[in-house]
Amino acid sequence: MTLAEIKAAVDGGQTVHWANEGYRVIKDRLGQYLVTYLPNGSAIGLTDRRGDRLIGREADFFVSRAAESPAAGQGGRAHLEGATSPPTSPRADQRG
């Protein structure tokens, strides 16, 4: 898949993977396209810093053939967004 095809598929609600189904391409809330590793939520940009060269070969990107519910399609994105928030700790007066 080309960069344009990947972006169009993600924007169209399709699930795009890289190399295997453990890696999913998402668009985050800032509009960045990222490749996330589903087991731990780590992510890397889909392209180089200039935004014109994919991190992998075009042939390694593919659309998932498995049907997913809309909620399941958000799993990687929700995990990533939660992981980017700073950790919170209870205030000193609330500790038990």
Total number of domains in the chain: 1
Query: Does a structural domain hold residue 15?
Result: yes
Q: Tokens standing for 9?
A: 């598929």
Q: Say what the pLDDT of residue 66 is.
A: 73
Residue 3: HSE in the Cβ half-sphere, 13 Å Cα cutoff: 14
State pTM to two decimals.
0.68
Rounded CA separation 39/36 (Å): 9
> DSSP states of 40-78 as a string?
TTEEEESB-TTS-SBSS-GGGEEE--S---HHHHTHHHH
Can you list the residues of the chain whose pLDDT is less than 50?
A: 69-96
Query: Does a structural domain hold residue 20?
Result: yes
What range defines the domain where residue 43 resides? 3-82
Q: Say what the pLDDT of residue 30 is.
A: 97
Query: Does a structural domain hold residue 55?
Result: yes
Query: Does a structural domain hold residue 40?
Result: yes
Q: Say what the pLDDT of residue 68 is.
A: 53
